[in-house]
Amino acid sequence: EPEVTQTPSHQVTQMGQEVILRCVPISNHLYFYWYRQILGQKVEFLVSFYNNEISEKSEIFDDQFSVERPDGSNFTLKIRSTKLEDSAMYFCASWDGGSAGPQHFGDGTRLSIL
Amino acid sequence: RKEVEQDPGPFNVPEGATVAFNCTYSNSASQSFFWYRQDCRKEPKLLMSVYSSGNEDGRFTAQLNRASQYISLLIRDSKLSDSATYLCVVNIGGGNKLVFGAGTILRVKS
């Protein structure tokens, strides 16, 4: 079964540094998403991306965040200047655009900010 | 009011038991509904979509009541491997943004 893959599985970064999280969505999917889950809390929507542009973003997704699809396969999330509160699991998801279809999630990147 | 509300549990049940989880959502414009399962520190995995007519997949039955904005999940003949957090998830809007409940913890014991 095709799957969404994410790298790295764990990223440790000093506060204030830039970090890039990478995702390879399922190949025929059209919509791409980033979610995050702070330890012990619920999964929260960050951003959706379609047709090479952001289609929706949450309040969490401020100017420190950006997304990009640099080629036909990768989808990245960049955090420009990390803060302690950015420590979380970050999940990438993709959707084929079919009606009422579920999203498929990658196994996540654990981001730890020191 | 929370967008998606679930009883956090935990539900502690013996193997073989039947257990039911409930969920309510606040946005009447919600279009599609799912139950995901999440194991500790892992990604959410789709358990099943939820349809207006109700649907069943093996030991799992999901129901949707749009009028009451209520979703349920019934697990029959619980197995040890069913132990996980069950996430009620609602799709809002054409872009398929997912809104998650905080999850209900299930512990199945032998």
Partner A contacted by B40 (CB < 8 A): no
B47: CB partners within 8 A, 6+ apart = B34, B35, B36, B37, B57, B60, B73, B86
Partner B contacted by A49 (CB < 8 A): no
Q: What's the CA dihedral at B53, A45, A68, B32 to 10 degrees?
A: 10
Partner B contacted by A43 (CB < 8 A): yes
Tens-digit pLDDT profile for residues B6-64:
999 999 999 999 999 999 999 888 888 999 999 998 999 999 999 888 899 999 999 99
Contact between A16 and A30 (Cβ < 8 Å): no
Residue linked to tokens 């957090």:
B85
Measured distance CA(A58)–CA(A81) in Å, rounded? 18
Give me the pLDDT at residue A99, please. Answer: 66
Partner B contacted by A100 (CB < 8 A): yes
Tens-digit pLDDT profile for residues A73-112:
899 999 999 999 999 999 999 998 876 678 899 999 999 9
Q: Do A31 and B45 touch (CB under 8 A)?
A: no
Give me the pLDDT at residue B53, please. Answer: 87
Pairing of strands A19-24, A5-7: antiparallel
Q: How far is CA B94 from CA A12, A25, B40, B45, in A?
A: 35, 20, 31, 22
Q: Do B100 and A44 touch (CB under 8 A)?
A: yes
